[in-house]
Structure 1
């Protein structure tokens, strides 16, 4: 998936799918918390809103965001990780630079190589030769796990107990492109048409309507300061729970 704000999609899924975590175990842990509102933006887990520009690299931003959150959870340090590192260097793992990728492939790269920060490997919004230096890596993960496909309850439980989650969704609608505020509910969304990767950073409720909190990578001028609230109704709207995964440090 590309998730480019302007342009078509080029999607291929050929990565090794790591084991899925069972939904019931997530439910048990989440019940202990009994959290009705979760917002990791207010808890230090989330870096500033970024902008992928004219490069179809949403997959890289969705990946780094979840790793950033887990590093903060473990160390208390919030470090902005390099999307450009993924764009340039993970092609041998089945990614396609600015032409799109699936996040599982990106995670495979990080498991085997690590990641630099944006300070040492800044974003250029273009595909360029890889200049990764392992001596400058600031992020390492041991593995990653998928959540049960289509299970919004398991997704909510994972958000509550684990942290920000890498997700994909159907963004092929003008209503998504021009979203500015409110709780997004596109009736034409197809849960099987996953065209854009984002970071799920929480959930809440307003006026009796539950919603997800999504961090996009289209800059802070899009949506609600770069974020979207999407309807959370247990129906896997826009495929929010169709392809969800998180890193294990």
Structure 2
């Protein structure tokens, strides 16, 4: 037939056999499946340089890996608008994955200025935007086993704003916010909120660069902030109209990268690889548990998306990024967006 192309079937390895015939795992001989699982997990540990302290932990991690592998293969067979992959998180339990989502749910309202959307009602927005192409975004980092996502979202928005003002991209310190903003209601590796970090930055006259404060530790440290080394003084911060895609687009165009909160509680998010992520169960905007950075937007295969920078290393997602569907404010991207206003 015209237009039909024959393609080679994937390599006949054990993982491909399970994907092609998932029932094989349950009707095959147990010893055969144990061998396959052992082989797949061994390959995984080699790829991500994993090592465990005991045989007991090794078996515990293997069980988590097998469970996550089944989930990933099951989702990928559903022909969704995105695909999943077994990444460096595949040996972790749901409880451990939850520890990465450190956005706290505060009853105290943010005191930020309202982003004046009406001033930009006549603004002609570009069809797509990617602040990485302009040099306004630092490389993807890894928050490690620490619920400090809020500090990465804060510094990402600050870095972008400082770049737009000075033309220089300066990596800012997440560690200083983790160590020093306790008195403003943040809890370091146990979670926090960007607006509280903005308040700390305003109170102290700026934020330290990574170079001046020291590297990210992935744990709580001792606050040793030197006032003379602080940069990026804040005049305030603004919040974007909740749920408005137009307002968030305008904020991105006029002010650079924007800190946003999302519902990242679904396992599909943990193993996202590429495509436009649209999770039907991800519409509970009162359960936004993860802070990330919006650095642009666009359209892929007819689906509008937000370009989101995560802080789970470049092993996660598409080199550390995810395309999140705009439709119906999926996962709450446009619900609690904020950005800093430099002095």
The residue that corresponds to 1:157 in the other structure is 250
| CA 58–157 in structure 1, closer or farther in 2 if over 3 Å, else same | same
Residues 167-182 of structure 1 mapped to structure 2, 5 A cutoff? 167-182=260-275
Paired with 2:109 and 2:197, the residues of 1 have a C-alpha distance of 9
Question: Secondary structure at the residue paired with 2:269?
Answer: helix
Match of 1:75 among 166, 169, 172: 166
| CA 77–9 in structure 1, closer or farther in 2 if over 3 Å, else same | closer
Post-superposition offset of 1:207: 1.6
Post-superposition offset of 1:6: 4.7
Contact 1:15–1:93 (CA under 8 A) maintained in structure 2: no
| CA 10–153 in structure 1, closer or farther in 2 if over 3 Å, else same | closer
Structure 2 residue 198 is matched with structure 1 residue 107: yes
What are the Cα deviations for residues 78-117 of structure 1, in whole angstroms up to 9, with x where unaligned? 0000000000001111111110011110110111111111
Post-superposition offset of 1:15: 5.3
The residue that corresponds to 1:248 in the other structure is 341
The CA RMSD measured in Å over matched residues stands at 1.5
Question: Secondary structure at the residue paired with 1:202?
Answer: strand
Structure 2 residue 152 is matched with structure 1 residue 51: no
Paired with 2:287 and 2:148, the residues of 1 have a C-alpha distance of 17
**Rg larger in 1 or in 2?**
2
Post-superposition offset of 1:240: 0.5
Unaligned runs of 5+ in 2: 1-95
Contact 1:20–1:145 (CA under 8 A) maintained in structure 2: yes
Structure 2 residue 211 is matched with structure 1 residue 119: yes
Paired with 1:205 and 1:152, the residues of 2 have a C-alpha distance of 13
Paired with 2:105 and 2:212, the residues of 1 have a C-alpha distance of 30
**Matched pairs, number:** 242
Contact 1:215–1:226 (CA under 8 A) maintained in structure 2: yes
Post-superposition offset of 1:5: 4.2
Contact 2:103–2:193 (CA under 8 A) maintained in structure 1: no
Structure 2 residue 292 is matched with structure 1 residue 202: no
Unaligned runs of 5+ in 1: none
Paired with 1:81 and 1:9, the residues of 2 have a C-alpha distance of 19
Contact 1:15–1:104 (CA under 8 A) maintained in structure 2: no
Structure of higher RCO (CA pairs closer than 8 Å, 6+ residues apart): 1
Paired with 2:299 and 2:157, the residues of 1 have a C-alpha distance of 23
Larger fraction in helix: 2
Structure 2 residue 307 is matched with structure 1 residue 213: yes
TM-score (norm 1): 0.93
Match of 1:222 among 316, 320, 324: 316
The residue that corresponds to 1:141 in the other structure is 234
Runs of 4+ in structure 1 over 3 Å off: none
